[in-house]
Structure 1
Amino acid sequence: MSNQPSQDTVHVERRKAATGDIALLTIDFPPVNAGSTAMRAALLSALEGLDLETLAGVVLTGAGGNFVGGADIREFDAPAREPHLPDVLSKIESCPVPVIAAIDGAALGGGYELALGCDGRIATPRAVVGLPEVTLGLIPGSGGTLRLPRLVGEAQAIELVTSGRRVKTSEALKLGMIDAVADGDLIEAAIAHLVLPGTGKRILRDLPARPDTAEAVEAAEQAALKKSRGAFAVREAVDAVKRAHTMPAGEALAAEREASLRLRRGPQSRALRHLFFAERAATKLPEGEEPLAIDTVGIVGGGRMGQGIALAFAQAGLTVRISERDADLLKAAMSALADAADGLAERGRIASAADLMERILPGSLGDMADCDLVVEAIIEDMDAKKALFTQLDAILRDDAILATNTSYLDIDEIARATKAPARVAGLHFFNPANVMRLVEVIDAEATSPQVLASLVKLAKRIRKLPVVARVGEGFIGNRIFAAYRQQAEFLIEEGALPLEVDEAMEGFGFAMGLFKVYDLAGLDIAWARRKRLAPTRDPRARYVEIPDVLCELGRFGRKTGSGWYDYASGKPVPYAEVETIIVDTAVSKGVRRRTFTSDEIVSRIMAAIVNEAALLLEEGIAARASDVDIVFVNGYGFPKLKGGPLHWAASLPRAEVLAAVDAMAHASGFGIERAANLEAVLDDAGKL
């Protein structure tokens, strides 16, 4: 019989203290003590079972290295069930003896609200506290917006609640979010705090609000709303914090609870929760595979992408070896990396630029013999990549992994240039690689499950979001983005202007319009791809020559000072010459131009995106509809509050979506048809 204590319960034990016995309540609901209905019921039962007449106080803590890591999000789509967290907090506040929250690990969301309901808060140096509900489209629903301002003030509470940021122990102590930091054993420190002279009940809801100037509150409110990008929860959070200073506590708590439950049922919260679960599904390691240890990584190619990849690995503590095709290019790459490291240090992103650069070592291909992984980041040319992989295959250990950062090329063909294709995969970073969170991990035809598991685990280690895709032109993200770009080009040929398309999509919620993105990335990149695909293009398919004309004129975007827009002022400005090129090219083809409304533009482009997503799911390039959503949200600026293109489409009337796709296909001409699996994909996406 096992001697291990039972889990999914609240353990109760008595401890001796100078002023009498202390009850220690330990929440033990692995893995993070999430605030589920079962956990709340167990905690309330434990509190009700205490013999309070014989106790000098209570210490509340969590097992497994966490206090309470937040609510159980799986319960959010069901009606709220008793006991509710406010019921537990009411029991704590009515307890005649003081209750101290002893916080290790995470006390987030409802977990921090639980701590706020206690009379004091002691934390370990590794603890993190906060109210991140806005990141799921909610506001705190159990008094967080009322109790927190009693500790930190109204303006600071607005910043904390509307940002949803997680606060580490040192800052939490400075702000007043916790009372003390444990020096040594957490429980002993909590008991010592509990028996300090003068320690007693300190019910935050009964304390007066900490005063702030009207100017400070207004500044905090405006800063929060400016960053909100249309998030309903931010406006509601500001209002809730302000109510906590103007309403009686009971009324403010009731209003907060109503707003939180209302937002939980709303489309933005559903979209953000969908993305939360989508990320968990995408980052799950393949079962039954033991990932290889990866501590030293080689980067071949010291351009912007190679530099970003090197920084991403070095910031995570890995040793990086970087090479270029000649000494001058390598020297330039190391100089740029040193400048980037200095910038990171100045912004407080890293502790020391010198320490970071010590982990990035310049060298040759031969110096990579001890690498566990080598990532290729050279020019997007198949012959060059195959030649490089043949060289690396002869240099590296048999168990080392070879990865290509190609955006489009056939990784199966690249892998065949090696003797062991099983160790070859894709690791497609997004530029800038040390900033962008998304990484597509490409499972090539011969890639071994262990190599795939190793790369997924590595991506998580460097704080990236890995999404597994199969080999196909553009994989997931660039494949769909190509359909987006194609439809936008059709629209400008038919009568829209680049600024009209960009403003329509930005109005929909995209972070940046397509033609501005196009200029930022460089028009020559897509031009090279079009020229590569030209021999296989069906002559019956519609093709827009306008981007080619711009490239032939040397208008490659921001880097040349002009592209779809002019950048003489440093900002994108519509250029009359581009409009002339658009109109003349269209007229020469006999295209009859007309005006488009913003709604028409959005409908056409979103129909193309959704239809292309269905096609790549049918082809098996993406495994799940949710993978498409997180790729487009994290890599292409799709609005988070809409949950990704397929989640968004699934929320619309089905007939409306199908009609939009059919209209898009009709306007696009030969080769574009409604995906046969589109309705099935929307059915699946609607279940997520």
Structure 2
Amino acid sequence: MSDLIHYRLEDGLALIGLARPPVNSLGQPLRAAILDACERAAADASVKAIILHGESGVFCAGADITEFGSSASHATPSLPEVLLRLTSIDKPLIAAIGTFALGGGLELALACGYRVGEPKARLGLPEINLGLLPGAGGTQRLPRLIGVEPALDLMISGQPLNAARALEVGLLDRLAGSPEALLDSARELARELIAQNAPARRSTPFANPGESIAADFFSQFLAANASRWKSRQAPRRVVAAVEASCRLPLTEGLAEERALFKQAEASAESRALRHVFFAEREAGRIPGIGSDTPLRKIDKVAVIGAGTMGGGIAMNFANAGIAVKLLEVKGEALDRGLAQIRKNYEISVKRGKLSDAQLEQRMALLQGTLDYADLADADLVIEAVFEKMEIKEAVFRRLDEVCKPGAILASNTSSLDVDVIASFTKRPQDVIGLHFFSPANVMRLLEVVRGRETAPDVLATTMKVAKQIGKLAVVSGVCFGFIGNRMLEPYSREAHRLVLEGATPAQVDNVLTGLDLNMGVLTMLDLAGVDVNFLVRQSNLAASSHDASYHIVGDELYKLGRYGQKTGRGFYVYEGRDRKDDPEVPEIAARVAAELGVARRDNISNEEIHDRCLFMLINEGIQLLDEGIALRASDIDLVWINGYGFPAHVGGPMHYAETVGLDKVLAGIQRYRKELGAYGEMWFQPASLLERLVAAGKTRIEKI
């Protein structure tokens, strides 16, 4: 018997323990071992029932994702083949589900005749998060077990059910009293089934699942979700497969499911989402930082500034059960900040995401103060004051005086030089940038900015803290804007310039949302604030000698007090939640273009908008990689997916560039460098790394 399986006999029971740590992923070797063990039990006349369980407590997290897209994914025995055989074994087969049964792991459990779970077990089919659908019977067996609508909800959401809910909907047959009692509960069920001479499988409650839904259910479901799914095909394939379960016998439905799975596995959408999956796991690997790097103890946290950003940052720690002191310079500002935090929690209570008791528990972890001396015992202090260097300087000089030795001093700056900020202290090794994205209590991304003198244990500690508070941390080096905002500048620049040259804001934004970005860049500027963008640009210009007349339209809007959504006018007009085109913006653009001598055109193509905005965004990202600001291309993708709404199913801007072709990106930049005259000569300079990659025939973005 394989080392991947622990097989033992107990009074007529065969216990088959999956032993492929850490999560029993169903790669080809484990699939073969499961099949061999089940065949052995099926052929043994002394075995009256079979229990399948996780040897270490964990049942199964699903397929081996590294196999997807390769021949190993379908190597004999394939998972569908294994599960089909399990369903034909004429002995009760019980899945004892510890910790979780996800994806192929749940499909394995569905192939068993009976299922027992521990109280904290989670059961789900998250394949949609990888651009896939359940491909080993999940779309066919689950609707027959629990009905079409709950089955479809489980697959489309990708979110697991807890054990109690799984029992309620019929996904589990029994709940064990504790994780330790799981196998005993499975044994008890097995002996009951043997005593009752029960069938190997219970009859399915929804043998004809289509009978439980309206005739137009699937067409209505597709129509209701079309705008949310945009161009994504994985949810549509899930619907198609579940619909097949309603019109086809099981065997034919399984064949249709398999064909849909193979389409999904080969799709660009799934390749992109698998890229993101592995990128998230790679982001925490930092050269020079290992498991042996010591960590500093973080029990007490302080946040300076109780505004929208500071309050949101404080909420992250309170949500994780960590005490926070929130400092403001004026009592009314502190009271206002704490009141806003309570209001945010009250909204969560109304939505059923928090209980009243949880609200009070979290508020009790938040202590307001007006005195820097109260921060003396803080292990981590995060500054979230206004984005001006002189204000940051005053804060950090004061922190240097009052904070204990070894305290980590972090700045939430979105663009300023962390090394300069560190120089305001006598402990630059303890200073780091922690750039939260707004709203800080919602947005998942955290840019961790490693200063020139930031100590390794400070970096390692903040990466751990980020995980504790539910953030996806991406390390950046020091430069203006770090990874995200530095790349935003050329992206925003081209949008501004295209409006100056004759494109409308709506045309520019529609090209970008056509790629499934959450919003176009000009809509994003209106949301963030035209005034905020103006001030950031002014800071950036102070650090460069470039002519920046490209953003003259934004300057004009700023002068007119048109700051975007908050004032009701920016690049668009806003009436409540409705955004409308503003005929004055093209007029402003035409006037200032004439003043600058910029030729306007009526025929700017969507292709030009796409290439100028996105290729310059990509080019800047490649330059960041070459400079060592970003550790890897996939880190850049994570920043733009989680901080700026770039679609995960497109894979982020760097992955998208690889999909388009690096040679095409370079050719596009070179084309506009020639066509746009002096403006092109100034701004359309290909990154040296991009030129080297193309010259070397590379198709992936990597340092060479």
Smaller-chain TM-score range?
over 0.9
Alignment of structure 1 residues 380-459 onto 2, 5 Å: 380-459=387-466
* Rounded Cα–Cα distance in structure 1 between residues aligned with 2:476 and 2:106: 38
Letter in 2 for 1:236: R
Letter in 2 for 1:325: V
Does the aligned pair in 2 maintain the 1:469–1:623 contact within 8 Å?
A: yes
Q: Shift in Å at residue 81 of structure 1?
A: 0.8
**Equivalent residue in structure 1 for 2:667, among 649, 659, 662:** 659
Letter in 2 for 1:355: Q
Letter in 1 for 2:372: L
Q: CA RMSD in A?
A: 2.0
Does the aligned pair in 2 maintain the 1:118–1:203 contact within 8 Å?
A: no
Other structure's SS at 1:33 match: coil
TM-score by length of 2: 0.93
Q: Shift in Å at residue 223 of structure 1?
A: 4.0
Does the aligned pair in 1 maintain the 2:109–2:115 contact within 8 Å?
A: yes
Q: Which runs of 5+ in 2 are unaligned?
A: none
Alignment of structure 1 residues 586-625 onto 2, 5 Å: 586-594=593-601, 595-625=603-633
Other structure's SS at 1:289 match: coil
Other structure's SS at 1:200 match: coil
Q: Assess, with a 3 A threshold, how the Cα gap between structure 1 residues 664 and 610 changes in structure 2: closer, same or farther.
A: farther
* Rounded Cα–Cα distance in structure 2 between residues aligned with 1:456 and 1:347: 31
Alignment of structure 1 residues 72-111 onto 2, 5 Å: 72-79=64-71, 80-111=74-105
Deviates more, 1:207-216 or 1:560-569: 207-216
Q: Shift in Å at residue 426 of structure 1?
A: 0.7
Alignment of structure 1 residues 51-200 onto 2, 5 Å: 52-79=44-71, 80-184=74-178, 185-196=181-192, 198=196, 199-200=198-199
Deviates more, 1:603-612 or 1:568-577: 568-577
* Rounded Cα–Cα distance in structure 1 between residues aligned with 2:624 and 2:363: 41
- Answering whether residue 560 of structure 2 is matched by residue 553 of structure 1, we say yes
User: Following superposition, which runs of at least 4 residues in structure 1 exceed 6 angstroms of deviation?
Assistant: 203-207
Which residue of the partner structure matches residue 365 of structure 2?
A: 359
Letter in 1 for 2:659: S
* Rounded Cα–Cα distance in structure 2 between residues aligned with 1:327 and 1:620: 43
1:60-101 Cα shifts (integer Å, max 9, x gaps)? 111334211111111113112111112221232222210111
Letter in 2 for 1:338: R
Does the aligned pair in 2 maintain the 1:153–1:209 contact within 8 Å?
A: no
Which residue of the partner structure matches residue 295 of structure 2?
A: 291
Q: Assess, with a 3 A threshold, how the Cα gap between structure 1 residues 273 and 517 changes in structure 2: closer, same or farther.
A: same
Q: Assess, with a 3 A threshold, how the Cα gap between structure 1 residues 38 and 264 changes in structure 2: closer, same or farther.
A: same
Q: Assess, with a 3 A threshold, how the Cα gap between structure 1 residues 249 and 350 changes in structure 2: closer, same or farther.
A: same
- Answering whether residue 36 of structure 2 is matched by residue 36 of structure 1, we say no
Report the number of matched residues.
679
* Rounded Cα–Cα distance in structure 2 between residues aligned with 1:217 and 1:52: 45
Other structure's SS at 1:334 match: helix
Does the aligned pair in 1 maintain the 2:272–2:655 contact within 8 Å?
A: yes
Which residue of the partner structure matches residue 213 of structure 2?
A: 213
Letter in 2 for 1:396: C
Q: Which runs of 5+ in 1 are unaligned?
A: 1-5
TM-score by length of 1: 0.95
* Rounded Cα–Cα distance in structure 2 between residues aligned with 1:533 and 1:87: 60
Q: Shift in Å at residue 588 of structure 1?
A: 1.1
* Rounded Cα–Cα distance in structure 2 between residues aligned with 1:291 and 1:209: 57
Does the aligned pair in 1 maintain the 2:146–2:205 contact within 8 Å?
A: no
Other structure's SS at 1:61 match: strand
- Answering whether residue 269 of structure 2 is matched by residue 254 of structure 1, we say no
Other structure's SS at 1:387 match: helix
Q: Assess, with a 3 A threshold, how the Cα gap between structure 1 residues 302 and 684 changes in structure 2: closer, same or farther.
A: farther
- Answering whether residue 686 of structure 2 is matched by residue 685 of structure 1, we say no
Which residue of the partner structure matches residue 7 of structure 2?
A: 12
Which residue of the partner structure matches residue 576 of structure 1?
A: 583
**Equivalent residue in structure 1 for 2:569, among 554, 562, 565:** 562
Other structure's SS at 2:688 match: coil
Alignment of structure 1 residues 223-262 onto 2, 5 Å: 223-262=224-263
Q: Assess, with a 3 A threshold, how the Cα gap between structure 1 residues 456 and 374 changes in structure 2: closer, same or farther.
A: same
- Answering whether residue 671 of structure 2 is matched by residue 676 of structure 1, we say no
Other structure's SS at 2:448 match: strand
Q: Shift in Å at residue 47 of structure 1?
A: 1.4
Does the aligned pair in 2 maintain the 1:156–1:220 contact within 8 Å?
A: no
Other structure's SS at 2:247 match: coil
Letter in 2 for 1:202: R
Does the aligned pair in 2 maintain the 1:338–1:357 contact within 8 Å?
A: yes
Which residue of the partner structure matches residue 468 of structure 1?
A: 475
Which residue of the partner structure matches residue 3 of structure 1?
A: none
Does the aligned pair in 2 maintain the 1:34–1:68 contact within 8 Å?
A: yes
- Answering whether residue 339 of structure 2 is matched by residue 347 of structure 1, we say no
1:311-338 Cα shifts (integer Å, max 9, x gaps)? 1121122111111111010000010011
Q: Shift in Å at residue 555 of structure 1?
A: 1.1
Does the aligned pair in 2 maintain the 1:68–1:107 contact within 8 Å?
A: yes
Letter in 1 for 2:237: E
Does the aligned pair in 2 maintain the 1:540–1:670 contact within 8 Å?
A: no
Letter in 1 for 2:500: E
Other structure's SS at 1:102 match: strand
Other structure's SS at 2:192 match: coil
Letter in 2 for 1:10: I
